[in-house]
Structure 1
């Protein structure tokens, strides 16, 4: 239906019924994941695919059956998942069914939501079989309401009991948790990236003093942080401190010129011009390479801020025409053709895959024909309309696992799975047909 009932009691009844139906469907998918694994065990791999470069993979904890690796992608694709997410789903189903049978029983009888079972299963992978049984015995009756902290405590108890030589985290000496993580692959449209970490207390005190000192300096008239709020100046200060450190020879203490950071930004030249009113155009976006998947998008205001930095060095390059057809009479792919394919497609073109094209293989959609003597087949086989980026995992699937695809238009691909499911992959994503 397209709308919920109007009366309050009917809305509640409707929502409850839909929630129960959704939980039932999720349980059925979870069961299907385990059944799919049963149909693609290491034994079936040995019988049917001994001549292929395919391996049996352990997807869950000790004692669960290994699964033929090539089957994972098809199951994931029909569910609209990445291959990685599909691997996790099948692994959690096997972990629950084989090592947490009481939790599995609750899922299959409709008394436990799948997401709660998966939360438990994911944490028990590293336990020996008797440790997983211990968790199953103690958590099954309360799995529908146990909190994550209580679950972690139970897992810690199981590790202490069943893993030889395990040192508990709650002992007198806490494991070293110091770290600094910078999310370079997740740039915001304002050109910022998240950073978080844990420092030693003395280091944290020194960093706080250094940030406060430099942030105050950046607030001075004419400074880069003039007029900005304190938090923004502290962020600028950290960047300035990093750049100063990069010029320092850590052995001799001498300083050298700054090397800077190279960013490749793609923008429509018309977007950088003014609009008819004479004001800067602010409606477009620019794409920054190397920030995950198809790149990150930033606003034109952010790009203008970068370009106006006094230390910015700008090199303008005309982007290769991604609609042109380039052909060469060789199996090897020249750089200009590789660059065109990478720019055109952005990511691996397998259904739901977001692996960057820049680090993917460039695949001949119709396999290259080297001729009867291997000296070369028909001319022009290596061409824009016969090439697409495929990450190594999905390149192997296309070559060895019965997947096939064709290019409908530049950037638009029709894939067919071994069992006949079809997927339309476009610059806007994947659609199951």
Structure 2
């Protein structure tokens, strides 16, 4: 057996001796981990250099091709270049560049320990986060104690010591910092697999604990009522239709907490903020979803299977027959604005409650958007582009249509037409980046955009396919149409 450092196990040792194999495995794993840690430190150094380069570019007046003197714009441009290589969002890369530069300049002892593999990336994050609020005069003292606490210890176990040292040296009290932190309270969404999303909330610790405790009390009350309902059903007593319990409800307390939270947020009135006229309570949730026609019209899957196997009777399988005729699965997931798939049951429920529909016609093979209702210059053009560009069209960006500007690839001031072939949806960040930095874009036809970075690299961004499924190999890319913007 050979470790990553080419150290050969003593041939005199029995190669199947478990103790010898384990010792070699531990040695090899330790060496590998140290190598990975050093490479991570090197990556941070590269990102720090990139941030320094962006600052230097911002100081150059036009010589670098960067228009304007904004350090943020220069940082955006460099981050976009790196993001295309790292296959990450340029927002994330820009944030990591800033953080890496701060690590190199403000936490040199931490960076040295990181480079020496005495601490790992999680330790570095812990030290940098805890020391962010400290003054320059005490940061070196903090680093010395923090690095010592992290060496040979897990980040979780070192966290308490590191935070205590930071609190002792902090120039401001926890009360003052809490008041400032409360200004940043927020709610966000994060995509998860299998048609799920996570809802996050940042608020005061007491408020979060209160919310969680109330949901827990409500969930337990439902469970107690369900248990009572089961006993009544076993005893043959007629259940009270207005009672809380349900003998068939077997949800766990976690599931109940989640359902009660969703029910309260979707239907409850914000009594602490509403007006006497109930203006906030009158606002209803709104969700934009794309649903394939076969999904909307398909018969119940279980029923269809039972009908074909002879265990059911009278089930309509027309939807299944239509799907087979076109060579696609009958039921395909719906899709939320932004591209996340949702299950067919939820898609049908939303479709059944919709008061209006917008038809999106797609190419049967490639899935390209062909038309949205009728093609009129204003409303329908926006609708078509909204459907085609269901995310920002800058490489690596995935912001949904609600956050987009309609950008003229060739500026209208230079004769660019307001038409599908000269428009693309860009988020505000990348709309500004396109106009204020050396990034350039041209249309290749069929909604395909070709971006050229300041370093001369090219990146192709194709319109994200809507909920459509091909039956054969897609057609080749459309021929190149040179429509480089003259700016």
C-alpha deviations, 1:273-306, integer Å up to 9, x for none? 23785457674100123xxxx2432111232345
Contact 2:37 / 2:121 at 8 angstroms: preserved in 1?
Answer: yes
Q: 1:12-45: per-residue Cα shift (whole Å, max 9, x none)? A: 777666545543432322221222223232x542
Query: 2:49 — aligned with what?
Result: 35
Cα distance in 1 for partners of 2:394, 2:448 equals 11
Q: After superposing the two structures, state which structure 1 stretch, 199-208 or 337-346, moved more.
A: 199-208
Distance in 2 (alpha carbons) for counterparts of 1:267 and 1:221: 40
Instruction: Name 2:291's counterpart in structure 1.
Output: 267
Give the TM-score, by structure 2 length.
Answer: 0.64
Partner residue, 2:340: 296
Looking at structure 2, the residues matched to 428 and 355 of structure 1 have their Cα atoms a distance apart, in angstroms, of 12
Q: Residue 169 of structure 2 aligns with which residue?
A: 161
Give per-residue Cα distances to partners, 1:39-89, cap 9 Å, x unaligned: 232x542333499344235xxxxxxxx985543332333222212221232
Which secondary structure does the structure 2 equivalent of 1:40 belong to?
Answer: helix
Contact kept? 2:215, 2:260, Cα under 8 Å = no
* 1:250-329 map, 5 Å: 260-272=284-296, 273-274=298-299, 277=308, 278=316, 283-289=331-337, 294-306=338-350, 312-319=353-360, 323-324=369-370
1:247–1:255: 8 Å Cα contact kept in structure 2? no
- 1:97 & 1:400 partners in 2: Cα distance? 29
**How does 1:158-197 map onto structure 2 within 5 Å?**
158-163=166-171, 165-167=172-174, 184=189, 186=191, 189=194, 194=199
For residue 422 of structure 2, the aligned residue among 386, 389, 393 is 386
Verify the 8 A CA contact 1:92 1:122 in the aligned structure 2: no
Deviation at 1:334, TM superposition (A): 2.7
Match of 1:77 among 57, 80, 84: 84
The equivalent residue for 2:39 is: 25
Distance 2:355 2:288 in 1: 10
Instruction: Give, in whole Å, the separation in 2 of the partners of 1:16 and 1:204.
Output: 41
5+ residue gaps, structure 2: 7-14, 230-238, 309-315, 321-329, 363-367, 466-487
Q: Is residue 401 of structure 2 the alignment partner of residue 357 of structure 1?
A: yes
Report if aligned partners of 1:182, 1:193 keep a CA contact under 8 Å in 2: no
How far residue 271 of structure 1 moved from its aligned partner, in angstroms, is 2.2
Q: Name structure 1 gaps, 5 residues minimum.
A: 58-65, 327-332, 371-376
RMSD, aligned α-carbons: 4.7
Cα 1:152–1:13 shift into 2, 3 Å: closer
Q: 1:162 to 1:239 in 2, by over 3 A?
A: closer
Q: Compare relative contact order (CA 8 Å, sep 6+) and give the higher one, 1 or 2.
A: 2
C-alpha separation in 1, matches of 2:342 and 2:287: 12
Change (3 A) 1:410 1:54: farther
Q: Compare CA radii of gyration and give the structure with the larger one.
A: 2
> In structure 1, what is the equivalent of residue 159 of structure 2?
151
1:312-345 Cα deviation digits (max 9, x unpaired): 354333126663389xxxxxx8332222222112
C-alpha distance in 2 between matches for 1:254 and 1:417: 51
State whether residues 130 and 166 of structure 2, in contact with CA within 8 Å, keep that contact through their aligned partners in structure 1.
no
Q: Is the 8 A contact 2:407 2:423 kept in 1?
A: yes
Distance 1:235 1:325 in 2: 40
Is contact 1:78-1:421 (8 Å) kept?
no
Give the match for residue 67 of structure 2.
52
Does the 8 A contact of 2:37 with 2:115 survive in 1? no
Tell me whether 1:128 sits opposite 2:135 in the alignment: yes
What is the CA-CA distance between 1:419 and the residue it aligns to? 0.9
SS at match of 2:359: coil
2:109 corresponds in structure 1 to 102
1:405 matched residue in structure 2: 441
Q: Which residue of 2 aligns with 1:396?
A: 432
Distance 1:237 1:72, change over 3 A: closer
Bigger fraction of residues in helix: 2
2:142 and 2:169 in contact (8 A); partners too: no
The alignment of Structure 1 onto Structure 2 pairs a total of residues equal to: 392
The offset of 1:267, in angstroms, is 0.8
Normalising by structure 1, we get a TM-score of 0.70
Q: Is the 8 A contact 1:337 1:384 kept in 2?
A: yes
Contact 1:113 1:144 in 2 (8 A): no
Structure 2 CA distance for aligned equivalents of residues 255 and 31 of structure 1: 53
Distance 1:72 1:208, change over 3 A: closer
Contact kept, 8 Å, 2:114 with 2:120, in 1: the verdict is yes
Secondary structure of 2:443's aligned partner = strand
